[in-house]
Amino acid sequence: MDGFGKCVDGYVDVRDQLSRYVLDRAEDHFAAERVEKRALDSRSEFETRREQVRETFLSSIGGLPERMDNPSVETVKRLDRDEYSVESVVFESRPNFHVTANCYVPDGEGPHPAVLFAVGTSTRRKQVSRREVRTQPFRLASRHR
């Protein structure tokens, strides 16, 4: 490594340099948190700490919006299938903010298990294949394990 001076002593893989830096900086905080958690001796201390963590988190994201008392929900279409139906619904999650969803409802009495599958939209939708659009949420999920 001639020409780089005495501070550079060889090859450094920079692919994960940022994540290593962030984790190294966070490690002191993680260690302090572990000490703090181990020092909890009672349920009331735990609940006090839990409330402090919750308040700090909510403050850092700007809080949560108020819940709507009675959100409007409308079933706009229903498709009957073997052993289940698909209901296309629109609901108002916030005042004047409508969300669409497909609900796959099994036939018969419940309780039944539920699966939440959230998808988004893409500005490139018409430029990508249908297969790519269908598999994108799975690819994103597999990257963030």
* pLDDT attached to residue 26: 93
**Angstrom distance (rounded) from CA 73 to CA 71:** 6
Q: Report, in angstroms and rounded to the nearest whole number, the Rg of the chain calculated over CA atoms.
A: 25
pLDDT in tens, 35-44: 999 999 999 9
Pick the range with the lowest mean pLDDT from 2-11, 18-27, 62-71, 135-144.
135-144
The string of pLDDT tens digits covering residues 42-74 is 999 999 999 999 999 999 999 988 888 888 889
Quick one: CA torsion of 108, 110, 115, 120, rounded to 10 degrees? 70
Distance of CA 38 to the CA centre of its chain: 28
Give the model's pLDDT for residue 141: 40
Question: Is this prediction's pTM over 0.75?
Answer: no
Dihedral pair phi/psi, residue 65, rounded to 5°:
-70, 155
